[in-house]
Amino acid sequence: MSNSKKVVVVTGASQGLGAGIVEGFRKLGYQVVATSRSIKPSTDPDILTVAGDIADPATAEKIIREGLARFGRIDTLVNNAGIFLAKPFTAYTLEEYVNTVATNMGSFFHMSQAAIAQMEKQGDGGHVVSITTTLVDHAIDGVPSVLASLTKGGMNAATKSLAIEYAKRGIRVNAVSPGIIKTPMHSEETHAALGSLHPVGHMGDVEDIVGAVLYLDSAKFVTGEILHVDGGQSAGH
């Protein structure tokens, strides 16, 4: 199947950042393969929803396979799905460790591998952009986040490695490193306290991250970039 429209795959797409990223790409005319564990079918013919556990390697194969069957190509992958679990280091259970590594690093590995393999076959470039966290660069007292730093930090390092490996083949690899963003996972009564953790004094909005992802997707001379959208957190306090 041939297709002149660009196609983006977005993981963790049912709510929050993922839903915003899907909407942002649709406004630009992209066809979208949207996936999450609980995602519902879409009435938009240019959105294919694929339900599945992103921690399962078979899900990555399913997403790419069904996306190709529907739209014929893959131009961009947005690795947005992830788990954030803030608790003391010694309180993490083995199950929490395994699930976080599988969901964050595992899905990044399997989704990126499947998408890049398809981009290579197409021969006209492509883009992988992942959502990580500014806590990798700037830990915050009172916000224990070792598993986030371990897994998302691995994604940041792999982003740079993949960017160099695939630069001459026209496949770019970048990441967006957010601060704390207003999504359904943060109740409104926590916003003031969470906002105070940023030098600018407030949390970010979903649109801030969507804009960063869309910028990186259009920035043909940018690869290997970890773009901080964090209200100044990574710069210091």
Does the pLDDT at position 234 exceed 70? yes
Backbone φ and ψ for 60, nearest 5 degrees, come out as -60, -45
**Residue matched to tokens 């969470």:** 194
Task: Give the pLDDT of residue 3.
Answer: 62
Is 7-179+207-229 a domain of CATH 3.40.640.10?
no
Task: Give the pLDDT of residue 140.
Answer: 87
pLDDT tens digits for range 56-96:
999 999 999 999 999 999 999 999 999 999 899 999 999 99
Distances (CA, A) of 46 to 6, 11, 36, 71, 176: 11, 16, 17, 9, 25
**Residue matched to tokens 């679990």:** 85
Task: Give the pLDDT of residue 1.
Answer: 44
Please report how many Cα atoms fall inside a 13 Å half-sphere around the Cα of residue 237, on the Cβ side. 11
pLDDT (average), residues 41-52: 96
pLDDT tens digits for range 134-190:
999 988 888 888 999 999 999 999 999 999 999 999 999 999 999 988 887 777 878
Domain boundaries, the chain: 7-179+207-229
Does the pLDDT at position 196 exceed 90? no
d(CA 62, CA 193): 41
Task: Give the pLDDT of residue 185.
Answer: 75
Task: Give the pLDDT of residue 190.
Answer: 84
Weakest mean pLDDT among 24-28, 44-48, 82-86: 82-86
Does the pLDDT at position 4 exceed 80? no
Q: Which of 38, 65, 46, 45 is nearest to 5 (CA)?
A: 46
Q: What percent of the chain has pLDDT over 90?
A: 81
Distances (CA, A) of 52 to 21, 61, 151, 217: 19, 11, 21, 25
Does the pLDDT at position 191 exceed 80? yes
